[in-house]
Structure 1
């Protein structure tokens, strides 16, 4: 195997690969020309640089960061804002640009992304970050289970439907599905099955008739008539769980447990 940096002058560049959740794979290199290896063409992106990579034998999360300019045709500000790079898998490594011998140094996924319209910085999370999750549930007045997920007990198929997009309003960040009960889908989820944001999960934060307001920006290009997967929503209160879904037996919360404000409460007439 190629040993990097074992000589005074070395022909080494860095590379990184991004595997988005919508199926797109992007690859870049800090070299001044494109390099093809490992089945991918790595585009020359000298303005994008990996920051220091921290690897340890400890259980703490290994940290890394990538910084770059928002001028590469594959990294657009609108796509970052639209969430196309959220939770994307990433690989960072070193490559010999003469022999194309390469070695992956870091694997993980993209966490927080910050941009100021001229450049972006992406915080990367290694697989070790899963070890930092708190497995002990905290008491809460609302249900901690994901709707139709583990602990909820309700069928996702029952509350999920395929709809056809009837209208889109980019300025108001909302979409329309003819004849849809919008109120039932507040706090729900939408995923387009066609268009530039295929596979991206949108949260539904408000509704007016059959218009749904989404929690992240829409990008231009999703056509009217596109198919979308819609799942109804739940506000995670015991009233909704019992009255609307008849699922109080599976409620994962403590709605009647006194909270920290117990001493500040007063009787109601």
Structure 2
């Protein structure tokens, strides 16, 4: 039975009615949306219900069955109230919904007729991209959920939840506060955040229009050619590379190169940032050498001062394939090399990048390049950044009260620090920051991890882990990683493939958090997380086959 006011009852008994439906949608992040199917806005209980052409609803049915209410909402994304990225990023998941009817001539005077209350179900984008549909799950839906525990060989807990207890999301330490053994906290040991990633090279992919070519001694726009070098466009999709159009570099004698020098100030990087020691340089190239080594291909990246004198050399290799053990791309003839130079020295003002072609004799040689690019990663002061925690957290090893002022926690992992009467061990965090260096599509991108080197010795460290976007077009979305390939060396650069496409293609400078992966096996829980005491699986429990085979033997 519904409770309605006497004024509303009298209105319903009349020959005509002046009713409209209102929806109040409250997201879990606290943002609230107000909708109405009336032709004009409705003000009810101090809130304005938007009258844009935002939704149509099906009939609302009430019954005593424990099944989801047969209400479906259709919202037009172009209304301005909902964006596709918010919907695809899960911002409306589990949003609370209230549906009621009011008299649009005097909503507060007549009062509401409450129709339904519940939560949004699965949000399904329409194929044409014009809107989405979702079911409204009623209050009784929770009563129909299965709550029994099903035994399984794998752990039933999620990494970091209340059953697993691995420290993933950790609060900051507080002064003059009591802590007990086993509690996890974290503290800021630096005040640096991401300023941005600057892509320095123009025409870094070396691509030209089909049929175009340069004469000897010329090169693509922005590049200076030395010693008879030309770049010729080859057919699209060459050697199975649909996203890259390689260039054909031809030289008439040894040690030819094409290069360009860029002024960092022109790129918007201030001298204070450069001289602060918190700028990194990232160089990547994609090339195809001959298998017999007859056409060595090299690269040289140098950091220059104001007078063009070299202050640091990032890479200087005349034969990348022979000396740097590059990564083969997807079984093709192309190889990829990535180099990260951490801490550009004071006085740096320019970057010079060269790709080099040479051979062992005077004959004409050639090689193919998909791209060569250089980027600057600038780190500057930003107290809100995850980088401040330097990929570490603190584990309380002796209960007590922290001091009024903080001790120096900027120490290596494994160091025990006394803080007041408490003691804390510095641990490596399971959730670390990273920056996108290149996006391929909505499910594939390359990123550099900041402050964590465990993936170097364990190439599956992040497999089955979680990516959470904290900046960029995908901000707020968390997705499981399908495959993570480590580029090798000491660069901490990874190629990441996600199980689900994101709403937008990741771009250079997007900020994210990478969470170590857990495959739910007991061995992983014991050896990787040292958490087997909280393992929630039964790998030693005999299955149906074992039970049936026993009776068969009898």
Q: With the length of structure 1 as denominator, give the TM-score of the two structures.
A: 0.80
Runs of 4 or more off by more than 6 Å in structure 1? none
In structure 1, what is the equivalent of residue 106 of structure 2?
99
Aligned Cα RMSD in Å?
3.1
Going from structure 1 to structure 2, the CA distance change for 1:55 and 1:138 (only over 3 Å counts) comes to same
CA distance, structure 2, for counterparts of residue 66 and residue 90 of structure 1: 11
In structure 2, what is the equivalent of residue 83 of structure 1?
90
Structure number with greater CO (CA < 8 Å, separation at least 6) is 1
1:184 to 451, 461, 464: 461
In structure 1, what is the equivalent of residue 118 of structure 2?
108
In structure 2, what is the equivalent of residue 243 of structure 1?
527
In structure 1, what is the equivalent of residue 66 of structure 2?
60
Q: Are 2:84 and 2:503, in contact at CA under 8 Å, matched by a contact in 1?
A: no
Tell me, which stretches of 5 or more residues in structure 1 are unaligned?
Answer: 265-269
Where 1:205 maps in the other structure, the secondary structure is strand
Equivalent residue runs for 1:23-172 within 5 Å: 23-46=30-53, 48-55=55-62, 58=64, 60-61=66-67, 63=69, 64-101=71-108, 103=112, 104-114=114-124, 115-117=126-128, 118-156=130-168, 157=170, 159-167=429-437, 169=439, 171-172=441-442
Deviation at 1:68, TM superposition (A): 4.2
CA distance, structure 2, for counterparts of residue 251 and residue 190 of structure 1: 23
Deviation at 1:142, TM superposition (A): 0.6
CA distance, structure 2, for counterparts of residue 198 and residue 24 of structure 1: 16
CA distance, structure 2, for counterparts of residue 193 and residue 83 of structure 1: 14
Deviation at 1:162, TM superposition (A): 4.7
In structure 1, what is the equivalent of residue 500 of structure 2?
216
Tell me, which stretches of 5 or more residues in structure 2 are unaligned?
Answer: 171-392, 394-428, 487-493, 550-554
CA distance, structure 2, for counterparts of residue 198 and residue 94 of structure 1: 35
Deviation at 1:23, TM superposition (A): 4.2
Where 2:471 maps in the other structure, the secondary structure is coil
Deviation at 1:11, TM superposition (A): 1.3
Cα deviation, 1:22-73, whole Å, max 9, x if unaligned, reads 44432221111223334443222446222233445x5825513213445423
Q: Are 1:82 and 1:216, in contact at CA under 8 Å, matched by a contact in 2?
A: no
In structure 2, what is the equivalent of residue 194 of structure 1?
471
Q: Are 1:22 and 1:198, in contact at CA under 8 Å, matched by a contact in 2?
A: no
Larger Rg: 2
Where 1:3 maps in the other structure, the secondary structure is helix
In structure 2, what is the equivalent of residue 267 of structure 1?
none
Deviation at 1:235, TM superposition (A): 0.6
Deviation at 1:153, TM superposition (A): 3.1
In structure 2, what is the equivalent of residue 7 of structure 1?
14
CA distance, structure 1, for counterparts of residue 89 and residue 141 of structure 2: 24
Q: Are 1:92 and 1:107, in contact at CA under 8 Å, matched by a contact in 2?
A: yes
Number of equivalent positions: 263
